Amino acid sequence: MSERFDAAIIGGGPAGLAATAYLLYARLNVVLISPDLGGKVSYPFALRHVPSHDTVWGAGLVHELAERVTGELEHHIKDTVSRVTRLDDGSYSLALNEGGVVEARTIILCTGARAQRLYVEGEADFWGKGLSYSAISHAPLFANRPVAVIGGGERSITALQILIPLVSHIDYIEARPQPVVDRARAEATYAHPKVTVFRGWEVQQIVGDDFVTGIDLVGVNGEVRSVPIEGIFVQYGLLPNNSAVRDLVDLDANGHIVIDERCATNAPGLFAAGDVTTVYAEQVPVSIGEGAKAGLTAWQYLSAKSVE
Ligand SMILES: Cc1cc2nc3c(=O)[nH]c(=O)nc-3n(C[C@H](O)[C@H](O)[C@H](O)COP(=O)(O)OP(=O)(O)OC[C@H]3O[C@@H](n4cnc5c(N)ncnc54)[C@H](O)[C@@H]3O)c2cc1C
């Protein structure tokens, strides 16, 4: 028979560590299931005349939480969860990828989200040297420089709007058109004098020396055009890592787990926090706060159950 915990936290990034720290503080019997501790908290970024530095606020706090959790946690399973199933008594069973099963009365899912990549030549070479997947994190570094935004949906429009007041010019390559919430707002953004829109063009390669210097586009008729820029923002929607609970909880149209203001999902006892949820996060400090909130909510849920 598998061991049963009060709470299983899935994912050891900023959200998962904050949730774990609260549940350890509450003296609950917890297990953290995650291949790593820390998640995505180190993003060194450099530009010409801007030395490499880390743009993450709160990374120190994440390292502190990781140290604290490591010191106190008895059960860290370095694996990933493939599937979560709800049992008849309302608790959950978690199947691990490398085999084995864990049971828990509550779950906090903090599995984050992945940026979509272009998969073109030069992309891997220039990541962090002019190429970014997060306008929120890096836009201010590009003041008065020409940049390109590659995307086609809500996240791209947000990036354009953040960048317009800062940069000198934006070439917007709408490589994968997606529905947008407010068409009029999108059209007003595309029509801004600082924005040139490329429709029907695909990115062929990213070029540069030590840093990005340009982007080669190819049109439907095979025409190739080289666009000189100093920065590239790849701004497709993020892909939430929701596969373990996809059948158990409500998701929005982009696959984010729908939560309320206390990080509760529609499944009783199953909570979620950070980039995998509908909460606007995409930043380490927000994920830490969300994870802490989920930990507190799970603690209250277990306390209420104990007097039922
Ligand atoms: C390219 C990029 C650049 C960014 N730059 C910045 C920045 O400069 N500043 C900033 O504040 N934020 C930045 N962010 C955002 C920041 O990284 C996230 O908001 C934050 O890490 C989200 O925390 P999280 O705990 O929700 O998820 P994550 O940090 O993604 O952690 C997810 C955790 O879950 C684990 N996991 C995933 N699937 C499973 C599974 N099935 N089973 C078990 N474990 C699993 C992972 O291994 C990891 O430990 C950036 C994000 C990206 C993609």
Alpha-carbon gap, residue 138 to 236, rounded angstroms: 16
Which amino acid belongs to residue 119? Y
Asked whether residue 57 falls in the same domain as residue 154, the answer is: no
Q: Which of 185, 192, 188, 153 is nearest to 170 (CA)?
A: 192
CA 185-284-176 angle, 5° bins: 40
Nearest residue (by CA) to ligand 1, atom 17, is 40
Asked whether residue 147 falls in the same domain as residue 228, the answer is: yes
Ligand 1 midpoint to CA 217 (Å) = 30
In this predicted structure, what is the pLDDT of residue 57?
A: 84
Average pLDDT over residues 21-46: 91
Ligand 1 atom with minimal separation from the 243 CA: 41
Asked whether residue 187 falls in the same domain as residue 242, the answer is: no
pLDDT at position 40 over 80: no
Domain with 258 in it: 4-114+238-306
Ligand 1 midpoint to CA 163 (Å) = 23
Alpha-carbon gap, residue 36 to 38, rounded angstroms: 6
Specify the pairing of strand 239-240 against strand 50-54: unpaired
Asked whether residue 100 falls in the same domain as residue 248, the answer is: yes
Alpha-carbon gap, residue 141 to 37, rounded angstroms: 28
In this predicted structure, what is the pLDDT of residue 177?
A: 85
pLDDT at position 9 over 90: yes
Q: Which residues sit with their C-beta closer than 6 Å to ligand 1?
A: 10-16, 33-36, 39-40, 43, 55-57, 80-81, 110-112, 115, 133-134, 137, 241, 244, 274-275, 281-284, 287
* 234, 254, 271 - which closes a domain: 234
Asked whether residue 200 falls in the same domain as residue 261, the answer is: no
Alpha-carbon gap, residue 287 to 295, rounded angstroms: 12
* 234, 251, 272 - which closes a domain: 234
Ligand 1 midpoint to CA 79 (Å) = 16
Tally of domains within the chain? 2
Q: Which of 86, 120, 125 is nearest to 103 (CA)?
A: 86
DSSP string, 22-39: HHHHTT--EEEE-SSSS-
* Each residue's pLDDT tens digit, 41-84: 777 888 999 888 887 888 899 999 999 999 999 999 999 999 99
Nearest residue (by CA) to ligand 1, atom 27, is 112
pLDDT at position 176 over 70: yes
Asked whether residue 204 falls in the same domain as residue 140, the answer is: yes
Burial of 189 (0-12, 13-18, 19+ CB in 10 A): buried
Asked whether residue 224 falls in the same domain as residue 131, the answer is: yes
Asked whether residue 255 falls in the same domain as residue 271, the answer is: yes
DSSP string, the chain: ---EEEEEEE--SHHHHHHHHHHHHTT--EEEE-SSSS-S---EEEETTEEEEE--TTHHHHHHHHHHHHHH-S-EE-S-EEEEEE-TTS-EEEEETTS-EEEEEEEEE---EEPPP---BTHHHHBTTTEES-HHHHGGGGTT-EEEEEE-SHHHHHHHHHHTTTSSEEEEEESS----S-HHHHHHHHTSTTEEEEESEEEEEEEESSSEEEEEEEETTS-EEEEE-SEEEE-PPPEE--TTTTTTS-B-TTSPBP--TTSB-SSTTEEE-GGGBSS---SHHHHHHHHHHHHHHHHHHHHHHHT-
Q: How confident is the model at residue 1 (pLDDT cuts 50, 70, 90)?
A: low
* 213, 234, 255 - which closes a domain: 234
Nearest residue (by CA) to ligand 1, atom 35, is 11
Nearest residue (by CA) to ligand 1, atom 42, is 80
Ligand 1 midpoint to CA 110 (Å) = 9
Which residues contact residue 44 at a Cβ distance below 8 angstroms, ignoring those fewer than 6 apart? 52, 53, 54, 128
Q: Widest CA span of the chain, in angstroms?
A: 71
* Each residue's pLDDT tens digit, 183-242: 999 999 999 999 999 999 999 999 999 999 999 999 989 999 999 999 999 999 899 999
Ligand 1 midpoint to CA 256 (Å) = 14
Asked whether residue 162 falls in the same domain as residue 17, the answer is: no
In this predicted structure, what is the pLDDT of residue 243?
A: 97
Asked whether residue 53 falls in the same domain as residue 104, the answer is: yes
Nearest residue (by CA) to ligand 1, atom 26, is 274
Asked whether residue 102 falls in the same domain as residue 244, the answer is: yes
Average pLDDT over residues 269-284: 93
Asked whether residue 53 falls in the same domain as residue 144, the answer is: no
Nearest residue (by CA) to ligand 1, atom 46, is 11
The CATH number assigned to the domain holding 132 equals: 3.50.50.60
* Each residue's pLDDT tens digit, 91-148: 999 999 999 999 999 999 999 999 999 999 999 999 999 999 999 999 999 999 999 9
Ligand 1 midpoint to CA 112 (Å) = 5
Ligand 1 atom with minimal separation from the 132 CA: 1
